[in-house]
Amino acid sequence: MANKDLVKRAFSVTANLPTASQQRQDTASTSEAGLDGTKGSEAPATIASATPNKPAAVPVAPKTGPGSMLAFMTDQSEVHREVLRLRERLSDFDGAQATRAIDPKLIKASSWANRDLSHFKTEAFTRLKEEIASAGGNVQPIKVRPIEGAAAGSPSFEIVFGHRRHQACLELGLPVLALVQPDMRDAELFVEMERENREREDLSAWEQGVMYMRALEQGLFPSAKQLAAAIDRDLGNIGKAMALAKLPGEVVRAFGSPLNLQFRWATPLKDAHQRDPEGLLAASRELTTRVPPPSPAEVFAELTAQGGVHRQAPGTTAEWKDDAGKRIASLVVDRKGRVTLSFDQPMAEAQRRKLVKLMDGFVGSKA
């Protein structure tokens, strides 16, 4: 049917072209008119003689019907091929999203932001900031969604992922390159943010726990099980992360930074808090005053020691006095839980042997 239409259109173009017989008749008529004019008057001869000699124009041979149709079909074929080429080039951009350079002051952190502020003080963030400064901006775009009904001058976009890149551009005073995703639901934002950050700079277990707790508290997911399914994470790890996020602030600060908390420490710290919450808080407060500060592993060991020996406040003493109130002996515990027993009065040989025998029984080994 398409070919028939082309033929019809071609014939419509060529329908008004003169035929060869019509051209011959027109030529003959012109010649006869010229002869008659010569017989009737000499004026035409005079005019002809006054006209300068010029080469006669060669008439352009008109196209035949089939030739015009072929030319038309050729033109249409070229147009068709160009359309196909353009479609092929356009297909390369299927699914592509346009980026925009946005003032970072017009972008706010996500309600479920999973980066603790301490992340922006690390060496890794400093290196990222230097790379963005040298490039004149973030080469890898962040992702945002528009905020509906945002007032003029207030943030009009919310970060989906890219909090570190946004913070770096904000501190450098550079516009941030961003993909804008309209019509994104809260649950979709949360899932995309969690998965993207998991593939980049690792979040600490505590940060993940805080993020998961916010999602559940704000009703993004009805249960931890459905949350785990949505983000494709192990339910056990989600439980451990939230256990760390539920620890008192004093305990978290004892580790120096929440970034130092590890998944495998979640259960022992939770158990220690359940056994003796007050003792754990007292020990945590004491650990934060030490100079130099202990390593995270040392903090964990002291806070989770069985029996509570290490959770005793430093400098604690026990004293023994005589009837006159004069001190005879004292027991002192240092910051590492080590005990020193001292006697203020000279001890007789018999008393020393008796004390040694008591110590043998206490430590389970002979001196």
Domain formed by 98-203, architecture: Alpha-Beta Complex (3.90)
* pLDDT score recorded for residue 124: 86
- Written as six digits, the tokens of 211 are 């993020």
C-alpha distances (whole Å) from 208 to each of 190, 253, 261, 304 are: 12, 17, 11, 22
pLDDT of residue 360: 81
Residue 335: closest CA among 305, 317, 310, 314: 314
Does the reported pTM lie above 0.85? Answer: no
Q: pLDDT digit string (tens) for 247-304?
A: 999 999 999 989 899 999 999 999 999 988 988 999 999 999 998 999 999 999 999 9
CB atoms within 10 A of CB 173: 9
Strands 176-180 and 142-146, by their bridges, are parallel
Q: How confident is the model at residue 72 (pLDDT cuts 50, 70, 90)?
A: low
Domain with CATH 3.90.1530.10 in the chain: 98-203
Q: Could you report the per-residue pLDDT of 319-331, keeping only the tens digit for each?
A: 787 777 788 888 8
- First vs last Cα of the chain: how many Å apart? 112
Decide: 73 and 6 in contact? Cβ < 8 Å: yes
Instruction: Give the C-alpha separation, 272 to 307, whole Å.
Output: 10
| Tokens read off for 349 | 């040989």
113 — pLDDT class (breaks 50, 70, 90): confident
| Predicted confidence (pLDDT) per residue in 303-357, tens digit | 998 544 444 455 556 778 777 778 888 888 776 677 888 888 888 888 888 888 8
CA distance 224 to 243: 13
93-115 per-residue burial string, b: 16 or more CB within 10 A, e: under 16: eeeeeeeeebebebbbebebbbb
